[in-house]
Chain A
């Protein structure tokens, strides 16, 4: 049985796709056979961030509508033999997604021996987002330290508890909160919500805090998941997050304003 994990947020632009790419890559590098599915039909992005946009032949919708089989559509990652990407269709819209179709694809992947299936949810709470979460065992709720993002995440948590297969069966999805674009400096100056405030409002276990970092944008533009950038704080924080997801106890880092040492003060940093 594969473990199905949805990466969701409600609000757009908070880092779902960046997280999905980093998360799937991290799991694959740790030896787990992982598939990552782009549910954002019509606004395909995951393939760009994974750096495989020129290798898309068939997509998720082709598989659902029977025009291709899952093996034809899965793109093998260049960097890891364990990682496969199922891209979204850019020309169709989210109405092409059907519950039966999604269920069949997840079943096929599960039978194919995948350990993890990561569902990269689109923003919003409509069909695409609803289907991305429907069959999930775990949910990573991506939130920015900002009031509207926290409110939308709260809404999504409500839907996870009521509209998913697990909820219909009277079970519950494991929820994990991931705070992204966290800037301790701006928290200290009062521009951003502090981690404690977010936890107080959402009351969900925290699985990671990804610091605001220029390397995320750089990584996206060059099609390399940021987790592979071992030098960057964001890359390290994503690695911590993956390890925590796999059950390790890893202390949270990058929560305090970094004190600049003499060297940094002299030469910048």
Chain B
């Protein structure tokens, strides 16, 4: 397969969706600018899909060239339009837009049209850097802190799951699964007072407790990634 130059694959990716409530270019421009000031870093060069479901037939009135300009000006990379009124499709294609198949998760039609533009991602200030839990994490519970650390002041039970973008600290027995650095952060670490976990993972490298040297079970340990290997050391 060395001769292969490219490969075309169908893939699902997470994209930001911009839901349009209005066809008024001025209003859209102003609303985009306001959003941009709130969350500029977050939006920079992120691919975006525009959803025209709520416009219905009014989608015909959209100025597709101007729309592309407005969206690009803010730093987005426009990917395409979806749920566009059929008769407007030719005009959109002409302006260089791609047309996407409608998603299964269609926006609810009765959403009140209070704002002109509705952006899905949260602003950077709202990103949680630390999640502190003062109760035990029970079997069947999943705690996810995508961008930050998790600190548990009690034990975690068998059958529970902790997922953190950063590190995980457990001030008690760690009995469930624990995954640190889930976004790929190899610097993330796991600390616990008593290692009885079912599975430990950092940045995708995982180990089961069965494989762990028995002398470390029940000990206070720190777990970190050394090159490609998970290291467990007593603390």
A contacts, CB < 8 Å to B: 151-152, 154-155, 157-159, 161-162, 201, 203
The residue in A157, A158, A162, A201 that gathers the most chain B C-beta atoms within 10 A of its C-beta is A158
Secondary structure at chain B's binding surface: helix, strand, loop or mixed? Answer: loop
Q: How many residues of B contact A (CB 8 A)?
A: 13
Q: Are A201 and B157 in contact (CB under 8 A)?
A: yes
Nearest-CB distance from B196 to chain A (Å)? 10
Q: Are A155 and B139 in contact (CB under 8 A)?
A: yes
Q: From B142, which residue of chain A is reached at the shortest CB distance?
A: A158
Q: Are B155 and A154 in contact (CB under 8 A)?
A: no
Nearest-CB distance from A30 to chain B (Å)? 32
The residues of B that contact A158 with a CB separation of less than 8 Å are: 137-141, 160
Q: Are B159 and A161 in contact (CB under 8 A)?
A: no
Q: Are B159 and A154 in contact (CB under 8 A)?
A: yes
Q: Are B157 and A161 in contact (CB under 8 A)?
A: no
Give the 6 A-B residue pairs with the shortest CB-CB distance, closest first.
A158-B138, A154-B139, A155-B140, A158-B141, A155-B139, A154-B157
The residues of A that contact B135 with a CB separation of less than 8 Å are: 161
**Taking A154-B159, A155-B159, A203-B136 as contacts, is the C-beta distance between A162 and B141 under 8 angstroms?**
yes
CA distance A161 to B135 in the complex (A): 9
The residues of A that contact B209 with a CB separation of less than 8 Å are: none
Q: Are A203 and B154 in contact (CB under 8 A)?
A: yes
CA distance A109 to B113 in the complex (A): 43
In the assembled complex, B117 has its CB within 8 A of some CB on chain A: no
The residues of A that contact B25 with a CB separation of less than 8 Å are: none
Q: From A157, which residue of chain B is reached at the shortest CB distance?
A: B138
In the assembled complex, B17 has its CB within 8 A of some CB on chain A: no
The residue in B137, B139, B141, B159 that gathers the most chain A C-beta atoms within 10 A of its C-beta is B139
In the assembled complex, B216 has its CB within 8 A of some CB on chain A: no
The residues of B that contact A155 with a CB separation of less than 8 Å are: 138-140, 159
Q: Are B158 and A151 in contact (CB under 8 A)?
A: yes
**Can you list 30 residue pairs at the A/B interface with Cβ under 8 Å?**
A151-B139, A151-B157, A151-B158, A151-B159, A152-B139, A154-B138, A154-B139, A154-B140, A154-B157, A154-B158, A154-B159, A155-B139, A155-B140, A155-B159, A157-B136, A157-B138, A158-B137, A158-B138, A158-B139, A158-B140, A158-B141, A158-B160, A159-B140, A161-B135, A161-B138, A162-B141, A201-B157, A203-B136, A203-B154, A203-B155
